[in-house]
Structure 1
Amino acid sequence: MSKPGKENAASERLFTAVRLPQHLQEQVKVWRDGIKRTMSFRTWTDPRDYHITLQFMGDVDINTIPNVTDALKEAAAKCGSFQLRLGGAGTFGRPAFPRVLWRGVEGDRDMLKLLQKTVADHTMPLGFVPEERPYSPHITIARSYTGSGPAEPIPDHENDGSDSSWTVADFVLFATRFGRKPMYEILQTFPIPYSRP
């Protein structure tokens, strides 16, 4: 079988996500560049790849993708737009030797969780099993701490006066392209109906 992402591949490695808008990609990049001076990680996410995962789907047979997109269209139609904003930073794994560095999201997290659940509910009939662990929305900034000693505390993100909020009016189906920058390619965007405040 061909590897996912190759031409004439039998499968694609897919996941659904809310993308971070371009102006916030730049804002997080500035913060990330400051972190790089004090913390060492093996892999830093390309800012164009910043996102909040909704559901990881794994390697999906290309013949199944039209069914997936139909299910995601139905899921999008049942949700409404909402507001999010950038939150603080944190890590997964041991604090002294973290596995992942992330930025959180604040705002209407209940609507984000509802969107995530709706996506999972609509793809379940296709054989995609939702994760059992609680949904923990975040933006992955870096992976695999490589410092010679325990990691320093994460510096507070500086508020330069920029607005870090945005309206979530769609989500995307991403395919992973290993070895490329950016690493994630949008296969389809799913608009979410506008919700009145």
Structure 2
Amino acid sequence: MTAHYFIGIKVEKSIRTKLTEWQNVLAKSMNYKDWTSEEDFHITLKFLGGCSDKTIDVYKNKLMNEEWPGAFRIAIGPAGYFGNPKQPRVFYADAEKPKELEVIKLEVEKIGSELGFQTEGRTYRPHVTLAKKNAEGMSPLALESYDLLLDESYSMLIDHFSIFRIHPQQNPKYEAIAHISLNKEE
């Protein structure tokens, strides 16, 4: 069986702890089938799916030899959702989309396209998935008074991104197999 991969940015520890608190607030009013493990919180740049080790090595080498923007900061939060506001299929922490992140996303897509990966057709919406596959309940964001913790945002430094291998039967599910450093700020 071919391993599956994606390219993304792991959320730093201090923010992962905060997002776990958000999950606790969410769990009081909703029951999702799939809760993201604290160790797996990330911002996806590109889902690759199944591919060979050779293809991943070529992709990694191309990424490592690219000129990237310098390290930059983004805001993680507030909470958001995809789908019905009362019972969203995905509940997430929003992520800011500064120019540097857009440049990285476009280049990751371009290299992927050169290697035969399908280009994403949807508009890029960076986020950190907290829970998905809604089973029942009502979103705390749809309630008249909800926990203001879900309105907070946290600053995170991005100085690298990674290629992750997916282990669906393990927890955590995502293993970083390569780190691509951003250029050092002058």
SS in 1 for 2:56: helix
Q: 1:168 aligned to 2:158?
A: yes
5+ residue gaps, structure 1 = 3-10
SS in 1 for 2:125: coil
Whole-angstrom distance in 2 between the partners of 1:83 and 1:151: 29
Alpha-carbon offset, residue 150 of structure 1 = 4.9
Alpha-carbon offset, residue 141 of structure 1 = 0.4
Q: Does the 8 A contact of 1:72 with 1:123 survive in 2?
A: no
Whole-angstrom distance in 1 between the partners of 2:9 and 2:157: 11
Whole-angstrom distance in 2 between the partners of 1:150 and 1:18: 29
Q: Where in structure 2 are the equivalents of 1:1-197 lying within 5 Å? A: 2=1, 11-75=2-66, 77-106=67-96, 109-147=98-136, 150-152=138-140, 153=142, 155-158=146-149, 164-196=154-186
Q: Does the 8 A contact of 2:5 with 2:165 survive in 1?
A: yes
User: What number of residue pairs does the alignment pair up?
Assistant: 183
- RMSD of the alignment, in Å? 2.1
Report the residue type matching 1:130 in the other structure.
Answer: T
Alpha-carbon offset, residue 129 of structure 1 = 2.2
Whole-angstrom distance in 2 between the partners of 1:111 and 1:131: 19
Alpha-carbon offset, residue 182 of structure 1 = 0.3
5+ residue gaps, structure 2 = none
Q: Does the 8 A contact of 2:26 with 2:139 survive in 1?
A: no
Deviations 1:147-193 (A, max 9, x none): 1x55451735428x9x8212100000001101111000111111111
Q: Does the 8 A contact of 2:72 with 2:158 survive in 1?
A: yes
Deviations 1:58-112 (A, max 9, x none): 101122221011111134x332211112121111122233111111013x62211
TM-score, normalised relative to structure 1: 0.85
Cα gap change, 1:79 to 1:12, in 2 (>3 Å): farther
Q: Percent identity over the alignment? A: 26
Whole-angstrom distance in 2 between the partners of 1:176 and 1:166: 24
Report the residue type matching 1:195 in the other structure.
Answer: E
SS in 1 for 2:184: coil
Q: Does the 8 A contact of 2:29 with 2:138 survive in 1?
A: no
Deviations 1:122-161 (A, max 9, x none): 22211112201111100000011111x55451735428x9
